[in-house]
């Protein structure tokens, strides 16, 4: 005989998950207000939250403050919140330049971190060994055993998939071989995903529900990547194919590149193209300061040397940078309109203060002050990218499981 419907365990998990979601979005919050937000009885909320308090998942913060604007009669509400130190999480992100690993609590407060910058001889085994060793040292240094760790979340940048032996299978990325290697070595559950998505989620994690519409995450480098966060989830089309943005046009009729429209992001804004543009203008006459810094050596035309030349007032360099920033501004405007974006988060753009202000000024002239205000720099770059992996575990192994 078949049985249909939801099991008691699934129902319990769902109820707890909904309560945790409300607390994350609005907490600290009272049981009365949770019941109102979820449209369930206060008695049901009390039973569930009391159980979660006994387990250590939640804790009572204290009485709600009273203001003159909103005086309360009778007993004051008791506020509850997530116990940030109930469990801990490990995270890592593998990108084209290095691997970051870190340990946080459930509030994403950083307890430990480590970073491995690559050289030209780096192998997948070197990266895995670094992650495993770092996780073991962090747990030891913090006095934590595996029972206190929810898991290890790992984001892998698309350009690193093949190096880490991650490939598509039946239309989806297959992380199973990689995650098993790491899980067996660290003795913890391992969750893997596209690093673009997990970094997008980490940057929107502290945003309250309803504070913005969709969040746009743009990542610059050897490859451009885009993630769109809708209702705290990555839009389906960008979970794996985050480099679709490279086909977007930012300069109609501009530079040509086989397989891409003329003036595409790939042809105009990626790191190799940017370096090529500065090499094209490098000369003692046109760019005297950049020429001095590099000695006329194209291999020394880097973000750092370009930034130094710009700071010293090398006019041709400044003009090229302004042209580049305007191309980025056009892209931001396009994706903002296409996805009805709230925040637009820029990752790995290495902008100086003046260049970020120039970008916002350009956006203000192009599309209005409102768009310019919504652009911000990623909080988690370079050595802090592991926060994407930590956020992934907190979402999947804590909130979506109701703290069970």
What's the distance, Cα to Cα, between the start and end of the chain in Å? 30
Cβ pair 355, 384 in contact under 8 A = no
Is residue 68 over pLDDT 60?
Answer: no
pLDDT of 162 > 70? The answer is: yes
Q: What is the pTM of this model?
A: 0.92
Nearest to 194 by CA among 158, 236, 170, 151: 158
Q: By percentage, how much of the chain surpasses pLDDT 90?
A: 81
Range with the lowest mean pLDDT among 27-31, 70-74, 172-176, 204-208?
70-74
User: Above 90 in pLDDT, residue 73?
Assistant: no
pLDDT at 34: 94
Say yes or no to pLDDT of 19 above 60: yes
Do 88-203+384-399 and 213-373 show the same overall fold? yes
pLDDT of amino acid 206 = 64
Using pLDDT thresholds of 50, 70 and 90, give the confidence band for residue 341. Answer: confident
| 41 phi/psi in degrees, rounded to 5 | -70, 150
Average pLDDT over residues 276-293: 94
Least trusted range by pLDDT, from 59-68, 223-232, 241-250, 340-349: 59-68
Q: Is the dihedral of CA 145, 147, 148, 149 positive or negative?
A: positive
Q: What pLDDT was estimated at residue 363?
A: 97
CA pair distance 69, 95, nearest whole angstrom: 51
- Give the mean pLDDT of the chain: 91
Fold for 88-203+384-399, please state it.
Nucleotidyltransferase; domain 5 (3.30.420)
Average pLDDT value for residue range 384-402: 96
Q: Which of 332, 40, 315 is nearest to 49 (CA)?
A: 40
> What's the average model confidence in pLDDT over 322-340?
95
Question: What's the pLDDT at 1?
Answer: 43
Q: What's residue 70's pLDDT?
A: 54
CATH number of 8-82: 1.10.10.10
The overall longest dimension of the chain from CA atoms, in Å, is 86
Q: Where are the domains of the chain?
A: 8-82, 88-203+384-399, 213-373
pLDDT of res. 174: 95
Is the CATH number 3.30.420.40 carried by domain 213-373? Answer: yes
Predicted confidence (pLDDT) per residue in 116-137, tens digit: 999 989 999 999 999 999 999 9
C-alpha–C-alpha distance, residues 360 and 307, integer Å: 18
> Tens digits of per-residue pLDDT, 197-253?
999 999 988 665 445 578 999 999 999 999 999 877 888 888 899 999 999 999 999
Contact between 108 and 205 under an 8 Å Cβ cutoff? The reply is yes
């Amino acid at each position: 005989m078949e049985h249909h419907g939801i099991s008691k365990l699934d129902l319990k998990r769902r109820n707890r998950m909904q309560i945790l979601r409300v607390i994350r979005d609005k907490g600290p919050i009272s049981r009365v207000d949770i019941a109102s937000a979820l449209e369930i009885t206060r008695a049901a909320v009390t039973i569930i939250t009391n159980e979660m308090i006994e387990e250590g998942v939640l804790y009572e913060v204290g009485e709600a403050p009273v203001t003159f604007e909103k005086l309360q009669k009778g007993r004051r509400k008791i506020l509850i919140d997530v116990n940030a130190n109930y469990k801990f999480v490990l995270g890592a992100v593998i990108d084209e330049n290095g691997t970051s690993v870190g340990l946080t609590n459930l509030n994403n407060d950083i307890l430990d971190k480590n970073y491995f910058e690559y050289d030209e001889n780096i192998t997948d085994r070197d990266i895995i060994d670094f992650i495993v060793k770092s996780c073991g040292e962090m747990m030891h240094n913090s006095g934590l055993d595996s029972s206190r760790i929810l898991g290890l979340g790992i984001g892998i940048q698309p350009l690193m998939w093949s190096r880490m032996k991650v490939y598509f299978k039946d239309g989806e990325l297959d992380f199973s071989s990689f995650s098993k290697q790491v899980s067996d070595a660290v003795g913890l559950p391992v969750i893997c995903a596209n690093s673009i998505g997990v970094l997008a989620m980490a940057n929107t994690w502290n945003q309250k529900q309803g504070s913005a519409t969709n969040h746009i995450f743009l990542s610059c480098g050897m490859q451009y990547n885009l993630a769109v966060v809708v209702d705290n989830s990555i839009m389906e089309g960008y979970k794996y194919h985050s480099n679709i943005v490279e086909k977007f046009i930012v300069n109609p009729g501009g530079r040509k590149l086989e397989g891409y429209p003329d003036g595409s992001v790939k042809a105009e804004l990626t790191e190799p193209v940017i370096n090529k543009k500065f090499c094209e203008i490098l000369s003692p006459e046109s760019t005297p300061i950049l020429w001095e810094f590099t000695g006329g050596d194209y291999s020394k035309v880097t973000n750092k040397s370009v930034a130094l030349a710009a700071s010293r007032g090398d006019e041709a360099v400044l003009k090229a940078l302004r042209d580049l920033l305007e191309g980025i501004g056009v892209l931001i405007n396009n994706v903002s309109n296409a996805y009805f974006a709230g925040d637009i988060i820029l990752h790995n753009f290495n902008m100086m203060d003046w260049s970020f202000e120039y970008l916002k000024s350009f956006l203000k002239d192009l599309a209005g002050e409102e768009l310019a205000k919504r652009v911000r720099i990623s909080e988690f770059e370079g050595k802090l990218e592991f926060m994407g992996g930590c956020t992934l575990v907190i979402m999947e192994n804590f909130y979506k499981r109701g703290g069970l």
